[in-house]
Structures are given as C-alpha cells and as structure tokens.
C-alpha cells in the first residue's frame, strides 16, 4: 500500500490565521500606547477603546497560548510528517518574531518612563 500524500494546507491555514491574529494584537498594542487613542479628540470609536481596555491582555495571552501550541504541534508532527511539521514550525518561528515586536511595543513606553523616573503608563502630551 502506498503512503498517503498529505498537503500542508492545514498547517498553512493555521499559520495564516495565527499571523492575522498576531497582527490584530500588534495593532491593538500600538493603539494602546498611542495617547490620542484614549482621548475623545482622537476620533476613535468609544466601543473600540472599551474593547481594547478590557480585551487586550486576554487577547495577548490567547495569542501566546496559540503560538506555543502551534510550536509544540509542529515538533510533534515533525516526526510523523516532515512537511506539516516544518510548516507549523516555520509559522511559529515567524510569529515568534511578531510576538517580540508586540512585547517591545507594549513595554517601550514603560521602560522609557522608568529610565526617566516618571510613573508607569505616563504619556507625554
């Protein structure tokens, strides 16, 4: 019996969805650190501000859990099907870089404030 040919479409789809979710979290991190976003003068919808205030950190945590799950699944699949495992590992590696950018955006303002002896979450006008 011939071994079945498998495609990496599932792994690619998981990688694309994970990257899309990561980009949404990155946009949320950038908006969260933008002082004009939190003011009525910024023109952003109040619902978006409320969602970001409540849902950003749970979304960030979910993104990290999905990233870890994708990486672990890629390692597990690497033994069974090298193509699927490699696709998932590539997706998790690229999303690892994206997660480093997200963490940098989230922490950047707070590190600046600590170095300048300002309170955390302080934004210059």
pLDDT (tens digit, 9 = 90+) per residue, 8-49? 677 888 889 999 999 999 999 999 888 888 887 778 898 999
What pLDDT is stored for residue 3 in this prediction? Answer: 46
| Mean predicted confidence (pLDDT) in 91-95 | 94
Q: How far is CA 42 from the centre of its chain?
A: 24
pLDDT of 124 > 50? The answer is yes
Per-residue pLDDT tens over the stretch 97-116: 999 999 999 898 788 888 88
Residue 6 pLDDT greater than 70, yes or no: no
Read off the pTM.
Answer: 0.83
70 has a pLDDT exceeding 80: yes
Pick from 11-25, 68-82, 110-124: least confident? 110-124
Average pLDDT, the chain: 86
Burial of 2 (0-12, 13-18, 19+ CB in 10 A): exposed
Produce one character per residue of 92-125: b if its CB has 16 or more CB atoms within 10 Å, e if not. Answer: beebeebbeebeebbeebeeebeeeeeeeeeeee
């Amino acid at each position: 019996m011939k071994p079945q040919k498998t495609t990496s479409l599932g792994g690619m789809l998981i990688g694309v969805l994970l990257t899309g979710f990561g980009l949404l979290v990155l946009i949320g991190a950038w908006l969260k650190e933008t002082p004009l976003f939190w003011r009525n003068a910024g023109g952003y919808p109040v619902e978006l501000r409320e969602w970001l205030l409540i849902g950003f950190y749970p979304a960030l945590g979910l993104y990290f859990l999905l990233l870890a799950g994708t990486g672990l699944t890629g390692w597990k699949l690497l033994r069974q099907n090298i193509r699927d495992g490699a696709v998932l590992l590539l997706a998790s590696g690229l999303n690892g870089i994206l997660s480093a950018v997200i963490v940098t955006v989230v922490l950047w303002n707070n590190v600046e404030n600590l170095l300048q002896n300002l309170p955390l979450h302080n934004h210059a006008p």
